[in-house]
Structure 1
Amino acid sequence: MLITTRGVRYAKAARFAEPEPVTWDGVLGSSQRGPACPQPPSSLLAVVGNSVEGLSFDEHCQVLSVTAPDSASGLPVMVWFHGGAYVTGSGESKKYDAALLAAEGVVVVSVSYRLGVFGYLRDDLGLLDQLVALRWVRDNIAAFGGDPSNVTAFGQSAGADSVYALMLADTEGLFHRAILQSAPLGARGPERAEMTAALREFVSVDASTPVEDVLAVQQQVPAMAARFGLAGGMPFGPVLGEIDLSAAASRIELLVGHTADDGSPYVADHPEAWATVTELVFAEPARRLAADWTAAGGQAATYNFRGKPPGAPWGACHCMELPFLFDPEGWAGAGMLAGQEPDPVLAKTVRGIWTGFARNGMDALPSRSLEFGE
């Protein structure tokens, strides 16, 4: 039996202000999903479906949900950061319901944080939200049966990019392992700081600007950002200073990888470019990070997820591993699945690898270079 506690507020903040921690009220088993940050429709709607269906919207969206086995005690903790290019998505989404993952003997925490202009126009507030959420886990997760000394941060796409930033920003030892799924690390580089400075000049909003007007201005940002090359494909997100991996590598074990056709949804009409985009944005940067992590004194492994249902129109595309990791009901109707269900054997394997890594780190992996699916 599992207990899910949804919509727990971990922080509060005025618009463009740093988050202030909120003390947990101790209530377990609440069923009301929390709000999603206000956002435009996802650019991957046809691929993955509506990830915020049924949710309310509120810029005060600093909430999290916890799924844990009943009577759990001292279990590994996995903290999930959703993707969506830092402009869409929510940890409260049905797509990230974690009952099957938690049934493997872990406690799963799903975090929502400020997005787009609300979270990344000034001072990387979305990243600060995430750090406060990790402190909430440290302080409260034992009440759910989790072990605060054994925490894995994991995320996909912008969520994986978030985990990368958190590895560098966390000076408190808030987590001990990390899984980066399809992090668009190729969209990072020297252009990002310049682009963010230009974005802050371009976007003219303040604390009194109506939400709908903020989103209208935000929708104009991609055209402005296009001149910054690959970085312009993800104009919002944390800006990292000089990167030194050594401190993080000494304390965090890393599993990093991608799907075989990660780039396909972004150049869907040009199949000849799928492999190139996948390599530039996702695959090569993942391999390089693993090598750099090892060179900095850490332990790292890589994976390549090739699984896909018959007739998948974009192959093993960006987000394809998610229905194999979370409860597949939330993914019914996703275009990338072509009306099929995830293969249950492969799904069980993926969940076993992820939770095994969360439990025992590198010792649980059958290889330092993993291949899933075909």
Structure 2
Amino acid sequence: MATIDTTTGPLRVEHRDGLTHARGVPYATAERFRPPRPAPRSATVRDATVRGPACPQDPSRLDNVNGPIIDQLEQREDCLVLSVTAPIEAAGLPVMVWFHGGAYLSGGGEAPKYDPDDLAREGVVVVNVTYRLGVLGYLTPAGAGADNLGLLDQIAALFWVRDNIAAFGGDPETVTVFGQSAGGDSVLALIAAPSAKGLFHRAIVQSAPTGARSDRTAMTQAMRAALTGHLDSDPLTASTDQILAAQRHAIAVAQKFGVVSGLPFGPIYGLDPLPITLHQALAEAAPRVELLIGYTRDDAAPFVAMDPRAGAFAELGPLGRRIERFVARRITAKVFGDATTELARNWNDVGGDVATFRFDWQPPDAPFGACHCLELPLLFNGDWSDAPMLAGHPVPTSLAAEVRRTWADFARRGTEALPTRTLRFH
């Protein structure tokens, strides 16, 4: 055990296996439907050896892909915490700030599966962030408060990193933000947000559903109306269970809007802290933010499989499986691949440094191929043995080491550290 002082007070941290772990560290506090405020300084030593909470949420629709993520964590609305993992005696190391995925509806940075011990051993300091989700974080009932609160939480966490990470041996001038799925979408929003400018200079975007980010206005309006109408009590005093029930109702309303309904919640452009359009903001940011962006070969496969219409494929036997794979590849291209290629091309055209990647590796007998989330066990060394996407197989240690080394090298020196600007992981 050791004590590290921060702007929010002294922390009792754990030293184990050559690493410093600080868990469940409050970086901000917030009332329901209100923007975050910096966490007050504690006069007493805070125990940072136990995991913090996750935002209240329903079970994830991807539990049948990556297994349960937050089942070991408490859930509560007071969830603005982060964890830091750093080599003991670290000094001036690059910092990597992780934003988890989960469609802005599920997940949490404190989840054991996201433990970054082996990534930190590559010579970086890793910060895992928990932020508000769903109705509580991204789509407030009419008249109840502000939107984009989850994004404001993330920015508040980055300010905490700026002010405190040197105490853990990190360099606040060498910060890389990275995230997967909704976390990758969050990274793009952070790049676009003027209030996050200067808090990081590199970004890694993993499987962001960029192709599902257009024409969301009508869906958002319908969801807000559904939320407001479904709550029969004051949104500020309703129970958490009532909020989640209204959230489920809003998600059901979103389904009629097609592909965009796959990401019903998320940052709303044109509302604080975001500009009106994503593309113009990214073009302005490209010259100052180095970008590594990519996806997995079969990103969409789990979502195709869970579609109610997929049952028709099963009735066709081997032909149906081939058709399902074809459909999954087409949707992967539409939602993930083509959008990634276009964004990278535009980044390069306006003078930004960019590299792309694709994960093609899959375990033998993998039910969804090289699917959404499959790279996560390669980056994070929590226990993924219950993840159906791995079909009972361990991840290859050499490939996992290559992925972690590549991510850490990018955090250290940017695109110049990469062997090529078009990476493939097999």
TM-score, length of structure 2 as denominator length: 0.85
Q: CA deviation at 1:170?
A: 3.8
Q: Does 1:155 align with 2:179?
A: yes
Deviates more, 1:225-234 or 1:301-310: 225-234
CA contact (8 A) 2:99 2:184 kept: yes
After superposition, the C-alpha distances for 1:282-327 in whole angstroms (9 at most, x for unaligned) are 1111111111111122111110101111111110100000000100
Task: Give the 3-state SS of the residue equivalent to 1:219 in structure 2.
Answer: helix
Q: CA deviation at 1:93?
A: 0.4
After superposition, the C-alpha distances for 1:77-103 in whole angstroms (9 at most, x for unaligned) are 000000000000000001110000000
Counterpart of 1:230 (choices 259, 262, 282) is 259
Cα distance in 2 for partners of 1:152, 1:24 equals: 26
Deviates more, 1:267-276 or 1:361-370: 267-276
CA contact (8 A) 1:63 1:113 kept: yes
| Partner residue, 1:330 | 383
| Pairing 1:207-246 to 2, within 5 Å after superposition | 207-240=236-269, 241-243=276-278, 244=280, 245-246=282-283
Cα distance in 2 for partners of 1:28, 1:71 equals: 21
| Partner residue, 2:39 | 22
| Partner residue, 2:321 | none
Cα distance in 1 for partners of 2:204, 2:170 equals: 18
| Partner residue, 2:51 | 33
Q: CA deviation at 1:274?
A: 1.2
The sequence identity of aligned pairs, in percent, is 53
After superposition, the C-alpha distances for 1:252-290 in whole angstroms (9 at most, x for unaligned) are 000000001100000124333110111111111111111
Equivalent AA in structure 1 for residue 85 of structure 2: T
TM-score, length of structure 1 as denominator length: 0.96
Cα distance in 2 for partners of 1:28, 1:251 equals: 37
Cα distance in 2 for partners of 1:292, 1:330 equals: 38
Equivalent AA in structure 1 for residue 249 of structure 2: Q
Cα distance in 2 for partners of 1:343, 1:221 equals: 41
| Partner residue, 2:12 | none
CA contact (8 A) 1:36 1:89 kept: yes
CA contact (8 A) 2:367 2:391 kept: yes
Q: Does 1:56 align with 2:74?
A: yes
RMSD: 1.4
| Partner residue, 2:93 | 75
> What stretches of structure 2 of length at least 5 have no aligned partner?
1-17, 141-146, 270-275, 311-323
After superposition, the C-alpha distances for 1:128-175 in whole angstroms (9 at most, x for unaligned) are 000000000001000000000000000000000000000000443110
Task: Give the 3-state SS of the residue equivalent to 1:165 in structure 2.
Answer: helix
Task: Give the 3-state SS of the residue equivalent to 1:131 in structure 2.
Answer: helix
Deviates more, 1:309-318 or 1:269-278: 269-278
Cα distance in 2 for partners of 1:335, 1:362 equals: 33
> What stretches of structure 1 of length at least 5 have no aligned partner?
none
CA contact (8 A) 1:71 1:145 kept: yes
| Partner residue, 1:349 | 402
Cα distance in 1 for partners of 2:84, 2:261 equals: 34
Q: Alpha carbons of 1:89 and 1:287: their partners in 2 closer, same or farther (altered >3 Å)?
A: same
| Partner residue, 1:182 | 207
Cα distance in 2 for partners of 1:5, 1:334 equals: 26
Cα distance in 1 for partners of 2:350, 2:138 equals: 29
Cα distance in 2 for partners of 1:333, 1:16 equals: 35
